[in-house]
Amino acid sequence: MILVLNGPNLGRLGTREPDVYGSDTFEDVVTLCRETGTKLGEHVEVRQTDDEAELIGWLHEAADGRIPVVLNPAAFTHYSYAVRDAIAQRTAPLVEVHLTNPAAREEFRHTSVVAGVATGTIAGFGLQSYVLALHAIAEMNTTS
């Protein structure tokens, strides 16, 4: 199993700043991740929350269960040391993903407090960022 965890405001994709995030909806993310998982022979569970505590609970669940994670921390990327500390407890690969390239956006988005404890980061490829991350985790699962 692979958990695909999504932070605040991602449930509003499709209506949230379409000039920045495009017209794809969160349901499109869910469908794409599940279809990609099926092609990779992996069960993929997709979740989204606007609540930092809930996201931290899911990260603890993943650490306790040795479950790999694809994580789009959204705004938590830039300031949540609590999310960072939960990621630091990981026991399986965790790939940070972003639809856009934070380094090409506003200056406050240039710093990720979670990148240093993630296995890797994929950003700027729209929904394909999730596909790339799922492929990376599937590859790590077969080589470990």
Please name which of 121, 66, 110 lies closest in space to residue 89, comparing C-alpha atoms: 66
60 is catalytic: no
* In contact, 67 and 61? CB cutoff 8 Å: yes
Q: Which one of 21, 43, 130, 135 is the catalytic residue?
A: 21
Identified catalytic residue from 60, 98, 130, 135: 98
H helices of 6-127, where?
Answer: 18-21, 26-40, 52-65, 81-87
135 catalytically annotated? no
The catalytic site residues sit at 21, 98
